[in-house]
């Protein structure tokens, strides 16, 4: 039909799903325009017909046909064709009809045909044709006219395509349906809680961000996971620190706490320093300082002389070496004449170093002796000028039990302070004794006794009675062995006890210069 042209165009519907492409046959459109058709469909043309071309064809263009053509119809072309355009046909063409073309075709445009085309009419095409559809013509077409198409034809594909583009349904597809570039942030994933790791000296604090970024892969997919990178801080103290200890808390991070201070110890020194206080701790990297504490002197007049103490976990002893008092490590073994009564030394085997366990003169005071009952006044410390028993009793201060105030059925004691008998397997009680008689025939008799303490009870080791003496003054020096149950004790004691029915029956009992060795 002259002046008319039927163009079958298949449009592709575009469907975005999962960003993959598929072609679905569209709707056939009749094109009666005067434009040029560009076919960009990558289809395959099959022509199985028989073509007869008796015309004069002129083709000065550049043709590119990479498709597969199959023509099974019978074609007759008696026209004169002139094609000066550039043809590119990469589709697959199928022509099963019988075509007769007696017209004159002139094509100066640029044709791109990626569809499947069947054209049996005389065409004159000077426009630009775009055909991206799939065209199929199985009929018998006869075109004896001369067609001129100077318009611009656009084939619209309403089919469904998936693969090159995507829907803007998430953060990895933009508003135009294109993939966001790889690395585009598309979400976040929570990071682990901050934590402490390791132990001293490799204690660290791992500070994690609140979340890490999920990113697009460039193909429309958002990553499921991401990597959280923590900022790690070493929990430590300053290299010059003296006493701080590095700490770590899962919430607050690294810090430090006050630790113990080292004692200042040393053999041959006169001073030891213990129990210092650590200050300056709290922050990470703190520099603690030890100060204060207790200073222990070793001199002949210090309370530490010949005593031991612990410094830095070791035992030091304050002793004299040659003529110098100093701290030495450990308690010396038996070393008589070193100025200290130590180890197995006693007054018995090393009087140079060891004092008597008990040495009382009462020259100045009571020296720790006590009365029992404590409110008793019969026991008196002093001198008795009117004693008429001579010196030293009349001029030397000493303890004596006086009959007044008179007491009946009594037992009144003078008790020593505690002294040390550790290491003693034998010891004697030595003292000076004076008795002044008044009446020697009392009943019951008045008595005077010496006792030692076993830790459980008192044991009598010596006793005299007023009936043992005549009237007047009686002076004696005694050395009495202590009972074995009273020996080798760190808390030993002795006492003197006056007892009887009536204190008026005597004048007085006297003791002085009490020694145990």
pLDDT tens, residue by residue, 326-369? 898 887 766 777 778 776 778 888 888 888 899 999 999 999 99
Q: Whole-prediction pTM value? A: 0.43
**With bands split at pLDDT 50, 70 and 90, how would you rate the model's confidence at 403?**
very high
Q: Which residue has the tokens 């002044």?
A: 436
CB-CB contact of 501 with 442 (8 Å): yes
Token digits of residue 256: 């430090």
CB-CB contact of 259 with 282 (8 Å): no
Cα–Cα distance, 151 to 36 (Å, whole number):
5
Distance between first and last Cα of the chain: 156
Listed in sequence order, the DSSP H helices in 216-347 are: none
Q: Does domain 359-516 have CATH number 2.60.120.200?
A: yes
Closest CA to 272 of 310, 302, 301: 310
Cis previous bond, 346, omega within 30 = no
**Residue-level pLDDT at 292:** 94
User: CA angle, corner 180, sides to 175 and 181, nearest 5?
Assistant: 155
Distances (CA, A) of 72 to 94, 95, 99, 140, 142: 8, 6, 11, 12, 16
Pairing, β 92-95 against β 69-71: parallel
Q: Would you kindly state where each structural domain of the chain is located, as residue ranges? A: 35-153, 185-234, 359-516
**With bands split at pLDDT 50, 70 and 90, how would you rate the model's confidence at 394?**
confident
User: CA angle, corner 90, sides to 134 and 155, nearest 5?
Assistant: 35
Residue 417 has pLDDT above 90, yes or no: yes
Percent of the chain with pLDDT over 70: 66
**With bands split at pLDDT 50, 70 and 90, how would you rate the model's confidence at 76?**
low
Cis previous bond, 276, omega within 30 = no
Q: Which residue has the tokens 């020194």?
A: 269
**Residue-level pLDDT at 61:** 54
Cα–Cα distance, 514 to 330 (Å, whole number):
34
Contacts made by residues 462-471, CB under 8 angstroms, sequence distance 24+:
462/429, 464/435, 466/435, 466/437, 466/439, 466/440, 466/442, 466/500, 466/505, 466/506, 467/440, 467/441, 467/442, 469/435, 469/437, 469/440, 470/437, 470/440, 471/437, 471/438, 471/440
């Amino acid at each position: 039909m002259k002046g008319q042209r039927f163009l079958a165009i298949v449009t592709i519907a575009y469907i975005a799903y999962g960003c993959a492409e598929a072609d679905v046959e569209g709707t056939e459109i009749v094109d009666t325009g005067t434009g040029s058709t560009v076919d960009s469909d990558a289809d395959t043309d099959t022509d199985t017909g028989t073509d007869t071309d008796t015309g004069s064809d002129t083709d000065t263009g550049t043709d590119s046909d990479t498709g597969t053509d199959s023509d099974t119809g019978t074609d007759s072309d008696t026209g004169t064709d002139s094609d000066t355009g550039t043809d590119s046909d990469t589709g697959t063409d199928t022509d099963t009809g019988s075509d007769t073309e007696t017209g004159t075709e002139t094509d100066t445009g640029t044709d791109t045909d990626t569809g499947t085309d069947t054209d049996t009419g005389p065409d004159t095409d000077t426009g630009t044709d775009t055909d991206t559809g799939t065209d199929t013509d199985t009929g018998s077409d006869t075109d004896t006219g001369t067609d001129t198409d100077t318009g611009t034809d656009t084939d619209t594909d309403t089919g469904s395509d998936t693969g090159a583009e995507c829907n803007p349904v998430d953060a990895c597809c933009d508003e135009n349906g294109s993939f966001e570039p790889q690395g585009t942030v598309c979400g976040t994933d929570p990071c682990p809680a901050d934590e402490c790791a390791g132990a001293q000296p490799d204690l660290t604090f791992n500070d994690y961000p609140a979340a890490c970024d999920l990113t697009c892969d460039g193909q429309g997919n958002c990553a499921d996971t991401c990597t959280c990178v923590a900022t790690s801080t070493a929990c430590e103290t300053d290299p010059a620190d003296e006493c701080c200890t590095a700490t770590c808390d899962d919430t607050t991070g690294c810090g430090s706490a006050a630790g113990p201070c080292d004692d200042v110890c040393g053999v041959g020194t006169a001073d030891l320093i213990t129990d210092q206080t650590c200050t300056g701790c709290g922050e990470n990297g703190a520099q603690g300082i030890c100060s204060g504490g207790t200073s222990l002197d070793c001199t002949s007049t210090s309370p530490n002389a010949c005593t031991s103490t612990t410094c830095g976990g070791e035992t030091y002893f304050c002793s004299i070496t040659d003529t110098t008092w100093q701290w030495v490590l450990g308690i010396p073994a038996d070393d008589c004449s070193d100025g200290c009564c130590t180890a197995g030394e006693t007054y018995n085997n090393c009087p140079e170093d060891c004092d008597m366990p008990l040495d009382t003169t009462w020259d100045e005071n009571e020296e720790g002796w006590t009365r029992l009952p404590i409110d008793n006044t019969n026991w008196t410390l002093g001198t008795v000028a009117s004693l008429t028993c001579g010196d030293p009793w009349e001029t030397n201060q000493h303890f004596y039990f006086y009959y007044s105030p008179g007491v009946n059925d009594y037992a009144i004691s003078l008790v020593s302070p505690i002294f040390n008998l550790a290491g003693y397997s034998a010891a004697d009680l030595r003292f000076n004794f004076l008795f002044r008689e008044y009446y020697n025939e009392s009943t019951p008799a008045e008595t005077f006794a010496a006792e030692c303490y076993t830790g459980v009870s008192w044991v009598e080791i010596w006793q005299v009675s007023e009936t043992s003496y005549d009237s007047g003054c009686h002076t004696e020096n005694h050395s009495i062995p202590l009972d074995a149950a009273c020996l080798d004790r760190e808390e030993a004691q002795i006492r003197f006890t006056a007892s009887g029915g009536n204190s008026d029956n005597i004048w007085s009992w006297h003791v002085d210069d009490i020694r145990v060795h």
